[in-house]
Chain A
Amino acid sequence: MILVVLISILFFGGVLAWLSEGLDSKFPRVIALTAVVIDLLVMLTLLGADAGDSGWIVQLNAQWMPRFGISFHLAADGLSVLMMLLTAFLGAVAIGSAWDEITEKTGFFYFNLLWTLAGVIGVFTALDLFLFFFFWEVMLIPMYFIIAIWGHENKNYAAMKFFIFTQVTGMLMLISILALAYFHYVQFGWFSFDYVDLLKVNTSSAIEMWIMLGFFVAFSTKLPSFPFHSWLPDAHSQAPTAGSVILAGVLLKTGAYGLIRFAIPLFPEASMTFAPFAMTLAVISILYCAKVAFAQTDIKRLIAYTSVSHMGFVLLGIYAWNEQALQGAVMTMLAHGLSAAALFMLAGGLQHRIHTRDMDHMGGFWAKVPRLSFVALFFSVAALGMPGLGNFVGEFLALLGAFKANIGLTVAAAFGLIFASVYSLWVIQKVFHGAYRNSDFDDSHLADLSRREMFYFGAMMIGLIWMGMYPQSFLDLSAGTITQLLNETGQVLFAVGQ
């Protein structure tokens, strides 16, 4: 029940925010923040709870469309809770970043923001594959509106590309889901879309591979991974700051979550056959996108490409499919969620102040805005994988686990860490050091970070340091889920090996 409450607070908060705009254009942001903070507090109550025998901390199962055995089945385990906490935390941060930036049509903006978050929480908790797909699509439409209405100069193109990429690959996933449900029907005589039921379906290996690919394409588009990543730089560079925060911090993680929860456990054999290809794609993402990032002059595009590169480590860790690698992938998801969101907020903040994203026009900002520059340095260093911060723990564990699975690819992937240092420090050098010049922009609004901005950047810094210094508190939460997933797939793979 608590999961329904979590989702409905956001749904109805969104509606309320939209309606309240008629009274005062400042009400929606207050309502939105309240809703997200309440959600966050409710989620914290799940932390102490014990998973019990089923492995789920909370569960809700109600009939929805009995004709096809579709149920409204929500459940959360440690992994879901971690992802939901990230979602709510970044949701609050995103509202903070939009606080002054969004001045037009505020009601509809916060409506869309909250509905996106509601969809994401649905994705992280749905255990019925139909319901999962439902939420998967529901979170796209509000995101489309956020980019298409409050975006920058080329917003129509970016929003359209984002929508078509995710929607078309989503349809491939829908076909896979239906095929799986149909094979369940053939095998057991009744339709079911329930995760637990579908885990039991046996299919011939050729078909299993095709069905698995349907899921993989959808998830790796969202992740994104080479070669389906090209929507991301456009979407990020055109989206308003809050949109980028949600996109980089939360939406990308739904792809990784889908791989861990659905793609591999449902098709362990096909996934393990496919793993070398997936890991190769991951390494290409890491190296190629790091290289492309280095060639960007638009600061938001650059951060977008680094996102693809970092998510490559997640993909690598997931397909290595052992405990360390999976822990690393989950840790990278969390840490990258914070660091990428912070970097996009800094880039958005800069654009808001000087109305350009072109790094060729920037330089020597340290003297003018020391607090902003320090924060930027902190998050760049976090992103490049400095020991002591969260990203290091994640990427290190992912590589450690991947090393057991495939030595050659892991060695290649490790070069990504070096590339990351190169482009991160290059950005710092270019934007914040050197001689200050303002010939290309009007610097009358170039102010340092306000107290409100320092507050949420500070919160994110504490998060990253916590993850880096005491990662065990996060690893403990996801450990139960990961062990269970490994056990289930291990049994199947063992049976095949016999």
Chain B
Amino acid sequence: MTMTFDDLLPLMPLLIVTATSVLAMLMIGVRRSYIVTASITITGLLAATLVAISMMDSTNQQITPLLIIDQYSLLFTVLVCASAMLIAILSFSYFFELDDHKEEFFLLLTIATIGAIVMVSSNHFVSTVLGLETLSMSLYGMIAYPMHSKQSAKYPLEASVKYLVLSAAASGFILFGMALIYAQTGTLSFASLTDLPMAADSLGDRYSIIALLMITAGMAFKLSLAPFHMWTPDVYEGSPIPATAYLATIGKAAMFVVLLRFIRVSDALSFDSMVMALTLVAAASMLVGNLLALLQDNLKRILAYSSIAHMGYLLLALVASHYATGTLAVEAVTFYLIAYVITSLGAFGVASVISSSEKEFDSIKDYRGLFWRNPWLASIFIAMLLSLAGIPLTVGFIGKFYIFLAGVESDLWMLLAVLVLGSGIGLYYYLRIVYRMLMTEKHKIPYRVGGVESVSAYGVLAILLFLLLLFGVYPAPIMSLVAAASAFI
């Protein structure tokens, strides 16, 4: 198959980000300048975002068997590029004081974004693996980035190696599952799975179930769904905050889009054992995530466990999509992912603003009295936490509303009961952080007093707060956008 120029046009966002990475790399080679590298990265990602937005209405094209560029993949391309841009701005102030080469972080971030764009556009196993590995490889570097920093008390190298080893094992699972499917169908496209033998007790059927379960398990690892969640809190805690934010938002969202497309296109849920497996994983994630978060005193660990629970909520909607007739459940997944990315980015953003690569403030003790000392920052953080808890006026509530509606539509009463229980437990640890901020300060905590470099980081938080309230109070426009995009899945 040959590619024509027409095929390149829909790939514009991907090409822009790729060009950005090359440009950034050359720039570092010519002359090291932190601010120039950062500007190139941010501008490139912004351009990719805008181009993707402009293409959204008109593009629906399969580019080679590997990539599908439709409204859905473009919606997530926008989400990925915009989030990457915001994380880049946060990183700029976070790494400002690092006494090591700082420019390459942006390079890694851009390359990871290439991987994420490929993932959200993929409907073929080859592009899935390529995207996934591009993303993961860059993340290993991002996580370990401040390893030479002298004062940093955390263990970035440990986190990185842990993620590397376990993530490679998970990739192994995914690859083996793909191999089993290839052995039966002879192709690697998601759509080919519908040809899998379905007779109840043929040998082929057993192979397919094993293959599907292995792929799902590998993806569940990357999404940190219970019982594949063990790595999450350690990696979150050890990583520098921008890398954690990247892993938690873009890393998860891109993987979930792949899982969604894979499950929907392959119709994998027509196997009862797959439904059973996903139901159990969803219930376990909601409970494990929320229960274990109760025991934590570290903000990043709390957010890690809470992300496990949130992935469980998303999985509920994914299971619901099998029973539902319309696109409601897919919309629920889509909207919730958007809500989750905005909210998590905001929560990590607050931590990032008061921290730097030399000193992170990630114990919840550090947030004591923040509301009285820096009311705006604390208000943003409270809004983000309430959104994670699903309280009205925030986008998180609308997301919860979608998930509940999808569950009700598909009669998933048991999972809904677990969701209510889990959210109830969740309130406790979110409110615990809120309460810390409302307490009066005992002694001054030496937050970083940001200079000019953190002005832009505050701007990022303001944007996120605006989106959180806008989508929470007047979600009609984004709802219709999500509904239109979900029709493509």
**Do A and B originate from a single complex?**
yes
Chain A residues near B432 (CB, 8 Å)?
160
Task: List CB contacts (< 8 Å) of A307-353 with chain B.
Answer: none
Contact B427 A164 (CB under 8 A): yes
Contact B479 A141 (CB under 8 A): no
Q: Is B438 an interface residue (CB 8 A)?
A: yes
Give the segment of A44-52, A169-177, A297-305, A394-402 that binds chain B: A169-177
Q: Is A57 an interface residue (CB 8 A)?
A: no
Q: Is B386 an interface residue (CB 8 A)?
A: yes
Task: List CB contacts (< 8 Å) of A164-195 with chain B.
Answer: 164, 167-168, 171-172, 174-175, 178-179, 181-182
Chain B residues near A171 (CB, 8 Å)?
404, 420, 423-424
Q: Which residue of B lies closest to A172 (CB)?
A: B420
With contacts A137-B391, A178-B405 taken as known, whether A168 is within 8 angstroms of B420 at the C-beta atoms is yes
Q: Is B392 an interface residue (CB 8 A)?
A: yes
B438 touches which of A148, A174, A175 (Cβ 8 Å): A148
Chain B residues near A148 (CB, 8 Å)?
434-435, 438
Chain A residues near B404 (CB, 8 Å)?
171, 174-175, 178
Task: List CB contacts (< 8 Å) of B404-442 with chain A.
Answer: 404-405, 408-409, 416, 420, 423-424, 427-428, 431-432, 434-435, 438
How long is the Cα–Cα vector from A178 to B332 in the complex, in angstroms? 14
Chain A residues near B420 (CB, 8 Å)?
168, 171-172, 175
How long is the Cα–Cα vector from A437 to B20 in the complex, in angstroms? 81
Contact A175 B408 (CB under 8 A): yes
Contact A141 B391 (CB under 8 A): yes
Contact A67 B435 (CB under 8 A): no
How long is the Cα–Cα vector from A163 to B438 in the complex, in angstroms? 16
Q: Is B265 an interface residue (CB 8 A)?
A: no
Task: List CB contacts (< 8 Å) of A20-73 with chain B.
Answer: 63-68
Contact B431 A163 (CB under 8 A): yes
Interface string of A85-99 (1 = CB under 8 A from B): 000000000000000
Q: Is B182 an interface residue (CB 8 A)?
A: no
Q: Is A134 an interface residue (CB 8 A)?
A: yes
With contacts A145-B438, A174-B401, A175-B404 taken as known, whether A67 is within 8 angstroms of B424 at the C-beta atoms is no
Task: List CB contacts (< 8 Å) of B346-372 with chain A.
Answer: 372
Q: Is B393 an interface residue (CB 8 A)?
A: yes
Contact B416 A175 (CB under 8 A): yes
Q: Which residue of B lies closest to A144 (CB)?
A: B431
How long is the Cα–Cα vector from A141 to B420 in the complex, in angstroms? 19
Q: Is B476 an interface residue (CB 8 A)?
A: yes
Chain A residues near B438 (CB, 8 Å)?
145, 148-149
Contact B408 A178 (CB under 8 A): yes
Task: List CB contacts (< 8 Å) of A120-163 with chain B.
Answer: 130, 133-134, 137-138, 140-141, 144-145, 148-149, 156, 159-160, 163
Q: Is A404 an interface residue (CB 8 A)?
A: no
Q: Is B483 an interface residue (CB 8 A)?
A: yes
Chain B residues near A67 (CB, 8 Å)?
476, 479-480, 483
Chain B residues near A130 (CB, 8 Å)?
401
Q: Is A452 an interface residue (CB 8 A)?
A: no
Q: Is A368 an interface residue (CB 8 A)?
A: no
Chain B residues near A175 (CB, 8 Å)?
404, 408, 416, 420
A65 touches which of B386, B391, B479 (Cβ 8 Å): B479
Q: Is B172 an interface residue (CB 8 A)?
A: no
Contact B372 A105 (CB under 8 A): yes
Q: Within the complex, what minimum Cβ distance (angstroms) separates B166 from chain A? A: 34
Q: Within the complex, what minimum Cβ distance (angstroms) separates A139 from chain B? A: 10
A159 touches which of B416, B423, B435 (Cβ 8 Å): B435
A137 touches which of B372, B392, B475, B476 (Cβ 8 Å): B392
Chain A residues in the interface with B (C-beta under 8 A): 63-68, 105, 130, 133-134, 137-138, 140-141, 144-145, 148-149, 156, 159-160, 163-164, 167-168, 171-172, 174-175, 178-179, 181-182
12 contacts between A and B (CB under 8 A): A67-B476, A138-B393, A148-B434, A159-B431, A159-B435, A160-B435, A164-B431, A171-B420, A171-B423, A178-B404, A178-B408, A182-B408
